[in-house]
Amino acid sequence: MSSHGLEIRRSSASVWGSLSGMRSVPTVSKYIDTTTCIGCKACEVACQEWNDLKPVATEQTGTYQTLPTLDAGYWNLIRFNERDFDGGIVWLMRKDQCIGCGYCETGCPFDVPRFSRTTGKMAKCTLCVDRVSVGLEPACVKACPTGCLHFGTKDDMVALGAIRVEQLKATGFAQAALYDPAGVGGTSVVTVLAHADHPEWYGLPKDPHVPLLVKFWKSVLRPLGVVAIFGAVAGAFGHFTKYGRKEVAGADDENSNLPSA
């Protein structure tokens, strides 16, 4: 599926979030259907190859999971969760990556960003912004063999998820639902869960919320900081305009005593 015409908004790095754009662009989203994921890890490999990430040593923890958790050099991880259900055992696979809630590290209720000691920066999934900007879909979506992953506008992905949820309910999964928590204002990754009444089975928080201090910093303190910077620049310019540059007392007398060339 081509993502021609779509663009990823860099809202989390701007002062006013998505309101700072000079033009309107649709919100994009990644769709994940956990009920069709077979744990093949093609998306993990595609992510590593496309982003030119160095190999990370795997760790055996008793499952087929590559690593216990995400790493600064490993942005896309399929989590394997074994659960007792209806008299048997089920495997619940989930693609663990940045879900685009717009906050980072301590403010991320999904524990996704990782600090890279190599670059000195936070590392996480970028939704392959370089691919999307030229009309291609993210590498993991392209590599998925079962159609578990899709990419498009948020509205289209929510509509696709709603159709899949209805199919699951018709086949006996009464608690199936689309995971798009309102507590963080929705996310840029919408996930179909067959057991949505237990998102913790998939390693997802049941009712995530952004910490109050993070909200206060992003909506109040950061804009005030920008206003303060502009105020300081304006004040300095006004002072220079009114009083001119500072003259050092006696500088002209010292220059007058210098021998002429």
DSSP state string for 147-182: S-EEEEEHHHHHHHHHHHHHHHHHTT-TT-EEE--G
pTM: 0.67
What pairs with residue 193 in β-bridges?
A: 177
Question: Are 120 and 240 members of one domain?
Answer: no
Q: Which helix (H) or strand (E) holds 250?
A: none
Does any domain span residue 163? yes
Q: Are residues 89 and 157 in the same domain?
A: yes
- CATH (domain of 169): 3.30.70.20
Residue 5 inside a domain? The answer is no
Q: Give the 3-state secondary structure percentages of the chain, helix then strand then coil, rounded to 5.
A: 35, 15, 50
Other C-beta atoms within 10 Å of 107: how many?
17
Same domain for 42 and 157, yes or no, is: yes
How are beta strands 189-193 and 28-33 bridged, if at all? parallel
Residues 157, 74 share a domain: yes
CA 182: distance to chain centroid? 16
Provide φ and ψ at 85, rounded to 5°.
Answer: -150, 130
Domain containing residue 232:
215-256
In degrees rounded to 5, what are phi and psi of residue 103?
-120, 170
Q: How confident is the prediction along the chain (261 residues), in pLDDT tens digits per residue?
A: 555 567 666 555 455 554 545 456 778 889 999 999 999 999 999 999 999 998 899 988 888 899 998 888 999 999 998 888 888 888 888 777 666 565 566 667 788 888 777 777 778 888 898 898 888 999 999 999 999 999 999 999 999 999 999 999 999 999 999 999 988 888 889 999 999 999 999 989 888 887 777 677 777 877 888 888 888 998 888 888 888 776 666 655 555 555 655
* Residue pair 26/130 in contact by the 8 Å Cβ criterion: no
Residue showing tokens 């754009």: 21
The answer on 246 and 146 residing in a single domain is: no
193 and 131 within one domain: yes
Phi-psi region of 49 (alpha: psi -120 to 50; beta: other; left: phi over 0): alpha
